[in-house]
Amino acid sequence: MKAGLLRALVQQKKVEPAKAEEVLKKFASSEEKSFPSFLFAEKLITPKELAEFGSSLFGYPLFDLSAYEPSGTLPETPVLSEDAMLEYHALPLFCRGNKVFVALSDPTLLPVISKMMFSSGMTLEVVVVQDDQLKNILDNLGQKSTALFDDLEDDELFAGSAPAAQNIQEEDKDADGPVARFVHKTLLDAINGGASDIHFEFYEFFSRVRFRQDGQLREIVQPPLAIKDQISTRIKVLSRLDISEKRIPQDGRMKLNVTKNKAIDFRVSTLPTLFGEKIVMRILDSSAANLNIDILGFEPYQKEMLLEAVHRPYGMVLVTGPTGSGKTVSLYTCLNILNQPDVNISTAEDPAEINLPGINQVNVNDKQGLTFAAALKSFLRQDPDIIMVGEIRDLETADIAIKAAQTGHMVFSTLHTNNAPATLSRLLNMGVAPFNIASSVNLIMAQRLLRRLCPECKVAIQRPPESAMKDAGFTDEDLAGNWKMYAPSPNGCDHCRGKSYKGRAGIYEVMPITDAMQRIIMANGTAKDLADVAYQEGLVDLRRAGLLKVMQGITSLEEVVAKTND
């Protein structure tokens, strides 16, 4: 088929005749299996040119895959095997009646695809797509479970399995073995891909596994629906959950030994849904948390204010923001700075997500009576210097934390508010006295995480009209500066796996409590009163912090607006 494609390119004067034979010989000696990919590497044609050429020459519609999201609308029995999809760069898109629409980047492969689909009884409809877009989708789909089952390692990767897990394997190896290996491979892929969460989801006609990477959920694989109960049972056994209970939510933990010297903890949550139990696994990888304050994204003056506050002998530092905004990493970065042999540090968390040697970490357990408040009371009898409370949820916890801060201890904690000034209202609503807030809180910091533009494929763009830039928050001084604005690449690249973003950076609103702010708090001022004083004293809010990242070429304006549009 490669000769047919090359002949068509020669006829259309896309490739010189003298070059054609040389190209075929070079391809035969190369390790590249995809002929279109080889042509792209040799810069004989671009993916866009090939798609337009194929559509025009063969008369098939041209289809844009940039907005396509794979779904569960394919037939239960795939019309093409995964091996065929990867080898021939073919993707079944959707079905209408007995017609299946298949995306091809090389239309000369149509006879091969038609022959493969003959036994399915489906009518083939072809659309031509760009090869790079198609490759990204095929890569992101991940391996199908049938292929995974053949190549996975043995179950000895798991540590701490309950006896029930061993019994299942011994009694029903043929049924449970492949499922166990599928779960193993999924967990390893999530760890290697830098995912923070794994979602196992089961619906009426399909199931899927999704990873949360850089804050975004991406579908990885659609395992057979017939094994959904086996997947749930396998995970629940390893997490020491009740496999017979499917009517109520359950929470558990498990551990995976990646190497002899590295183990990863998982926090497991199950939730009964209409068609099975949804399982979400939070990856608690301490080694993946970078506790270097210089790379978290602080502006120099913000870093200076934070360090000044955390090095005080007593008081309270509060970090606010929604779930998943990086509060825990920020707190542990501060603790890591203060973690010295002559300091006693204790933390109460739900649960402890980062293991830091030298720090006494406690997992709260409400069912057993070990609440945040109970842990705090115990800490105060343990000769502490520094205390970290995972979250202030109620007045009792807040009161104990504030008393600790007032009696010579450094206290770190988190709350859920949209910005730093709003923390005042949150504490007041809990019932904390204004005097206690003013006398104990040293600094409040709000934060968000923004996706970083991929440094390999981000594209420079022309700035939007001045009015739009000012509406976003840019100043005249900003607009007069000589800086470039960047946007995500439409198709991404291999470095970012087609996502156009890679990694995340923090933006921060660092608000030290000054004398003027203390007077506002003592006078029963509102969060708006506090914000007015803070901005007069030079507070940089989250939107402004995000715009600075745009000016530095770290992220896009769209990302900043989406994450700071409170």
207: β partners: 202
Return the closest-CA partner of residue 505 out of 294, 352, 288. 294
Q: Quick check: helix, strand or coil at residue 247?
A: coil
What's the pLDDT score for residue 154? 40
Identify the H or E element spanning 208.
strand 207-213
pLDDT more than 70, % of the chain: 84
- Tell me: pLDDT of 76 over 50: no
Question: Considering only 154-158, 179-183, 247-251, 276-280, which range has the smallest mean pLDDT?
Answer: 154-158
| Under 8 Å between Cβ of 561 and 323 | no
In contact, 223 and 206? CB cutoff 8 Å: no
Q: How far apart are CA 328 and CA 150, in angstroms?
A: 39
**Whether pLDDT at 488 is above 60:** yes
Q: What is the pLDDT of residues 431-476, one digit of tens each?
A: 999 999 999 999 999 999 999 999 889 999 999 998 999 999 999 9
In this prediction, residues 82-100 reach a mean pLDDT of 76
Cα–Cα dist 239/231, whole Å: 12
The CA-to-CA distance between both ends of the chain, in Å, stands at 55
Q: Is 194 exposed, middle or buried (0-12, 13-18, 19+ CB in 10 A)?
A: middle
For 260-314, strand residue ranges (E) read 262-273, 276-284
Nearest to 129 by CA among 152, 111, 106: 106
Strand order through the sheet with 90-96: 90-96, 99-104, 123-128
pLDDT band at 507 (very low <50, low <70, confident <90, very high): very high
Confidence band for 149, pLDDT divided at 50, 70 and 90: very low
pLDDT category of residue 159 using cuts at 50, 70 and 90: very low
- Residue 556 banded pLDDT, cuts 50, 70, 90: very high
Residue of 522, 316, 346 whose CA lies nearest to 406:
316
Question: Residue 518: what pLDDT?
Answer: 92
Please state the rounded mean pLDDT for residues 491-497: 80
User: 278 and 271 in contact (C-beta within 8 Å)?
Assistant: yes
Mean pLDDT of 128-152: 63
Gap between the Cα atoms of 303 and 299, Å rounded: 6
Question: Is the preceding peptide bond at 224 cis, omega within 30 degrees of 0?
Answer: no
> Over 50: is that where the pLDDT of 72 sits?
no
Contact 5, 106 (CB under 8 A): yes
Q: In which band, very low, low, confident or very high, does the pLDDT at 179 lie, cut at 50, 70 and 90?
A: confident
Cβ atoms < 10 Å from Cβ of 473:
17
CA dihedral of 463, 469, 472, 475, whole degrees rounded to 10: 120
pTM for the whole structure: 0.65
Facing residues of 253 across strands? Answer: 267
Residue 108, CA distances (Å) to 114, 121, 359, 468 in order: 11, 22, 63, 47
Rounded distance between C-alpha atoms, residue 182 and residue 92, angstroms: 24
Position of tokens 């745009």?
550
- Is pLDDT larger for residue 501 or for residue 56? 501
Distance between CA 85 and CA 65 in Å, rounded?
A: 16
Residue 356 banded pLDDT, cuts 50, 70, 90? confident
Q: Which residue has the higher pLDDT, 72 or 393?
A: 393
Q: Which pLDDT score is estimated for 566?
A: 63
* pLDDT higher than threshold 80 for residue 183: yes
The tokens for 334 are 């501060």
pLDDT digits (tens, 9 = 90+) for 304-347: 999 999 999 999 999 999 888 889 889 999 999 999 999 999 99
488-497 mean pLDDT:
82
- Average the pLDDT over 98-114 and give the result: 80
Residue 477 pLDDT: 92
Mind giving me the DSSP string for 500-520?
A: SEEEEEEEEEEEE--HHHHHH
> Has residue 175 got a pLDDT over 60?
no
Average confidence score pLDDT of the chain: 82
- Cα(50)–Cα(14) distance, rounded to whole angstroms? 10
Residue with the bigger pLDDT between 109 and 260: it is 109
Q: What is the DSSP string of 405-467?
A: HHTT-EEEEEE--SSSTHHHHHHHHHT--HHHHHHHEEEEEEEEEEEEEPTTT-EEEPPPPHH
> Residue 171's pLDDT is what?
36
The answer to whether the CB of 262 falls within 8 A of the CB of 192 is no
What is the pLDDT averaged over residues 385-395? 91
Where is mean pLDDT largest: 139-148, 363-372, 467-476? Answer: 467-476
What six digits make up the tokens of 326?
A: 């990086």
Residue 13: the pLDDT is: 66
Residue 87 scores a pLDDT above 60: yes
For residue 226, the model assigns a pLDDT of: 82
